[in-house]
Amino acid sequence: MTEDGKLHDEAEDIRNETAEEAPELQEHDRFAELERQLEEANNKALYAAAEAQNVRRRLESELQQATSYAAANFARDMLAIKDHLDRALVAVSDELRQDKVASQFLAGIESTSRELESVFTRHGITRIQATGEKLDPHRHQAMVELPSTDVEPGSVIEEMQPGYMMKDRLLRPALVGVAKKPD
């Protein structure tokens, strides 16, 4: 044991002997012990309050995320309907568009497609820009490489299926053809 340790132990022994005979020293010791316990209880209370606040913040964040993206699966399903409407409209010939009955039918399909786009916009669903952009693996899925001298390799030159975002989340990547150097 070191010299300091011996001195400390001797001082403690003397203090304890004296405390037995001096009630004010016992009271002081009891008061010091209560202060230590109070400080410990305050620290535990502060820790518990901080932990409760962290849990509350995490739950609020999870609730906000769940609320914002609850419709994501439904939106993905609606994208297939949008694709079918768009393909139907592209497949219509100019001759069929001139027919009076067919043109009224097509006007209804076009109106439905516009309304679906309006609903998408209201719910934060946007089409991903693909053609002319650099390939972004977070938004585009390359399906084929096409030789091209017109654009820089790695640029999207064809969109096979549009991609969509819901706010800041990817609903579906755009299926694209990417330029490569000719052989």
CATH of the domain at 146: 2.30.22.10
Which pTM was predicted? 0.62
Same domain, 14 and 38: yes
- CA atoms within a 13 Å half-sphere pointing along the CA-CB vector of 155: 12
What backbone torsions phi and psi does residue 131 show, to the nearest 5 degrees? Answer: -60, 130
Same domain, 59 and 92: no
- CB burial string 55-69: b at 16+ within 10 A, e below: eeeeeeeeeeeeeeb
Torsion angle of C-alpha atoms 72, 78, 82, 85, degrees rounded to 10: 180
How many domains, in total, are found in the chain?
A: 3
* Residue 111 token pair: 């109106």
Same domain, 110 and 133: no
The C-alpha atoms of residue 129 and residue 157 are separated, in whole angstroms, by 12
Same domain, 29 and 46: yes
Same domain, 99 and 119: yes
Residue 90: what residue type? V
pLDDT in tens, the chain (183 residues): 677 778 778 777 776 666 666 677 778 778 888 999 999 999 999 999 999 999 999 999 999 888 777 788 888 889 999 999 999 898 888 888 888 888 898 999 999 999 999 999 998 999 999 999 999 999 999 999 999 888 889 999 999 999 999 988 899 999 999 999 887
Residue ending a domain, choose from 19, 43, 66: 66
Residue ending a domain, choose from 17, 47, 66: 66
Same domain, 144 and 97: no
Same domain, 25 and 48: yes
Same domain, 76 and 112: yes
DSSP tag of 155: B
Same domain, 169 and 132: yes
The helix or strand, by DSSP H or E, that contains position 167, with its residue range, turns out to be: none
The predicted pLDDT at position 48 comes to 94
The C-alpha atoms of residue 14 and residue 28 are separated, in whole angstroms, by 16
* Residue 129 token pair: 């820009």
Same domain, 118 and 142: no
Helix (H, G, I), strand (E, B) or coil at 126: strand
Contacts of 123 (CB under 8 A, 6+ apart): 71, 75, 166
Same domain, 81 and 30: no
Residue ending a domain, choose from 66, 95, 110: 66
* Domain membership of residue 131 as a residue range: 126-183
The helix or strand, by DSSP H or E, that contains position 92, with its residue range, turns out to be: none
For tokens 């067919």, what's the residue? 102
The helix or strand, by DSSP H or E, that contains position 135, with its residue range, turns out to be: none
Same domain, 107 and 94: yes
Q: Which residues pair with 179 in a beta bridge?
A: 146
